Structure 1
Amino acid sequence: MNRQQERDWSLAVAALPDGVRLELGLADLSGAPFTAILALDRREARDLARALLAASGDAAERTFPRPSSTNGD
């Protein structure tokens, strides 16, 4: 897919000396734009990344279920 898609959210990430800064912008939250800014240390950033990865994996498994196995797996 090459064409640009419009989204109602944005994510910006910037390195900090001791971690990372995340800015999540929502174009319309209850009728107004909203930006959440998170300043995370390295451990917090890794924990967040692991949680997001786990959530995306869970969502993918629900979206694309595995075919039934004939081996009883």
Structure 2
Amino acid sequence: MSRHVQRRGVSAGGADKMGDPFSRRTLLSPGRAGEVADACQQRGVGVAVFVNPLTDHQRAVLTDMFGCLVLSGEDL
């Protein structure tokens, strides 16, 4: 099991991005999405669960990127 958290406004220059919307495509920054995808593939993860609600499009994109089923808390 692994846990990945994206905290906005914490990194250098991150405070300037606090007003930016979440990615409409993945809900994650590109770097974080790649990090989670690598972790899922290396560990053979079967399901990735997001706390935040996901759109059908986000779920499809993330499922393709991660190589496993992607759910949100609303799905549980």
Q: TM-score, normalised by structure 2?
A: 0.27
Higher relative contact order (CA 8 A, sep 6+): 2
What TM-score do you get using the length of structure 1 for normalisation?
Answer: 0.28
- Tell me which structure has the larger Cα radius of gyration: 1
**Larger strand percent:** 1
Q: Which has the higher helix share?
A: 2
